Structure 1
């Protein structure tokens, strides 16, 4: 499984050549949608159900790998209703009890970590909300992480996928990932031929995936789902798609300065560690200033990478905040992991603070 754009590029060609050389029969599905929807998942599921495939291979970024996870799941559970395994409260959240076919993930972006996680995210169009399927059962059997597969990744795709990997600030895996991101992300975005930087970001994606696969994510991700799901007209640079799009990594990172300013009082030391890793001089910083310091460090990092100037730059205004809050509330699976409790008023303030970054 892959998408239309990748189907013409070297990563897919190399995978198909390998299959041919080893006498493996295959069929290609190249209709994966960037930022999948329930409709696009169902189309891939329909394809997967038509034949009795022994193995699934996903060649692409998080959208491709997540779509392939869903296709594998429902092909192996053909009698299940689509919402059976979708996370509550949108779906029924039923446990996955039966075996799935092996799934080999070949990531072509660096940041989503989808090759290491048991999560498949999509836009549920009837509610204009992002949700997903979360179970260790759908985690890929094998991830083949080849940094040369990222060399064809456009600059903005490299930036937006990298932000997904840079966001978790927890445990040893994520700390190491953040160190790598701080050192190599700007190089990887600015020079597609920088193999050391692209290789390092690919490895950081794996580390981050292991990190947030265990520790979880919280407000930035929960708030990102309605940001991506309610997109109106924004056209993401570097993406060959025919629909409005706020890429997942971008939707996550736009709220990060406000969110980490908000959560800092619960653990100032770890927030200051993150600021230092990203380049801040924290020697004279007081614990109570951890939030503002990390927030400003993140803003500078995003500015240096020419990231859009807040939610306002991707088509939102203060009038949209009630809908954004409404779309965040059902994401309790992740938002409840926030180190600081929050109300709907807090969420509204965080969205307002994220309208403009610079």
Structure 2
């Protein structure tokens, strides 16, 4: 058996892992250098993706001014939707084709960055929309090759999308979220400026901050990379490879930073140190999960968000009703980690300790529970809903929720133990209420 996994090591299976980390710069004021970054990539005319709220902020204006100073023509697209859909992805791609740009810049949260990725893909390699969408909802066709340069500038401390090759959207017709995954979608450069988070409402910091934590914990507790079959060629090695020594470095440090600073960043908007550190944790977690993968909480989240367009979260009052991604993920996480704990107890205990739990005297049988309890304590301290019932779900919804989650095999296959549809029924039942 692989250490800390229910999956055995296959002697004829995978023996190596690939690291394709994005180039990244981090620090207050880095958006003021954006024009120079674009010029350094040879860009002359770029599509600048953002949503209307971001467009009026000081960091976004500094970024646009930097482009003008360097003579880079920035064509602004500010119609990005929070929690994008297949329709909004296609609208953005049509804009990109008509604008005739040689590169992309995204300034915003994960929704903005993912929309820019999709627009870049479909403008560069036109195809039917479902061609590149992950199976079984789409064809899962490989992206043919490189897309145009993309500089991703996150404005929330959560998604890590600036470092990954994944674009997530709401498949409205199927009432579930899914995505497109390819190494070619990873942004060319991530410009991470924590000043963009200073004006975020506490509710947004909480939602995105829990996305950081779940990314990192799922990455650390993923099945080991050596438990997967060997790829036929290096190019076919999947973006989500399983936990490995490189991803462990970023995931554990992201968990530590989240445990230290998330509650502070939510409680006191003037605590700039906490917001800076949480922003760095988000990037570390993105690097880790973009390499190792995420599993059950994210797989469960896609139907949680896809089936609910009535909930209004704190901090998102100006957006259409929806379940923000970080909330849709973390509401499943305590139930999921109680379930996976026995398959990888050492890794769950390490994650719990990094998050700030007292693990003295906790044996392997309690590893999942102590991690779950620490997460629940943080959820309560930061004002999150009390499980899925807190956002309007009930027992009758479980079959539909589980049917949506079982379709996310790309994610479920990364869990440290096999997951069936009946397991998901139990997990959603456990996630209904935590206190």
Local SS of the residue matching 2:73: coil
**Conserved 8 A contact 2:102-2:148:** yes
Task: Confirm or deny: 8 A CA contact 2:89 2:115 kept in the other structure.
Answer: yes
- Counterpart position of 1:318: 395
Report the equivalent of 1:71.
119
Name the SS of the counterpart of 1:231 in structure 2: coil
| Residue 286 (structure 1) aligned with residue 333 (structure 2) | no
In angstroms, what is the RMSD of aligned CA positions? 1.1
In the alignment, structure 1 segments of 5+ residues that lack a partner are none
Q: Deviations over 1:206-230 (max 9, x none)?
A: 1101111111000000000000000
Count residues in correspondence. Answer: 357
Moved more, 308-317 or 268-277: 268-277
Of residues 319-328 and 272-281 in structure 1, the stretch that sits farther from structure 2 once superposed is 272-281
Match of 1:125 in 2: 172
Cα distance, 1:241 vs. partner? 4.0
Q: CA deviation at 1:234?
A: 0.7
Deviates more, 1:69-78 or 1:283-292: 283-292
Q: What is the distance in 1 between the residues matched to 2:282 and 2:355? A: 17
Q: Distance in 2 between matches of 1:24 and 1:172?
A: 37
Contact 2:309/2:323 (<8 A) preserved: no
Alpha-carbon offset, residue 98 of structure 1:
3.0
Q: Distance in 2 between matches of 1:252 and 1:95?
A: 27
| TM-score of the aligned structures, taking structure 2 as reference length | 0.80
Matches within 5 A, 1:1-358: 1-78=49-126, 80-167=127-214, 168-169=216-217, 170=220, 171-358=248-435
1:11–1:59: 8 Å Cα contact kept in structure 2?
Answer: no
**Cα offset, 1:110, TM superposition:** 0.9
- TM-score scaled by length of structure 1: 0.97
Contact 2:335 2:430 in 1 (8 A): yes
Task: Give every structure 1 segment of 4 or more consecutive aligned residues whose post-TM-superposition deviation is greater than 3 Å.
Answer: none
> After the TM superposition, which of the residue ranges 278-287 and 150-159 deviates more from structure 2?
278-287
Kept in 1, the 8 Å contact 2:105–2:153? The answer is yes
Distance 2:281 2:165 in 1: 18
Q: CA deviation at 1:155?
A: 0.8
Q: Cα offset for 1:329?
A: 1.2
Give the Cα separation in 2 of the matches to 1:151 and 1:280: 28
> Could you say if the C-alpha distance between residues 99 and 232 of structure 1 is closer, same or farther in structure 2, counting changes exceeding 3 Å?
closer
Q: Distance in 2 between matches of 1:286 and 1:311?
A: 29
Task: Name which structure has the greater RCO, CA cutoff 8 Å, separation 6+.
Answer: 2
Residues 276-311 of structure 1, C-alpha deviations (whole Å, 9 max, x = no match): 222222111122111222221111111111111110
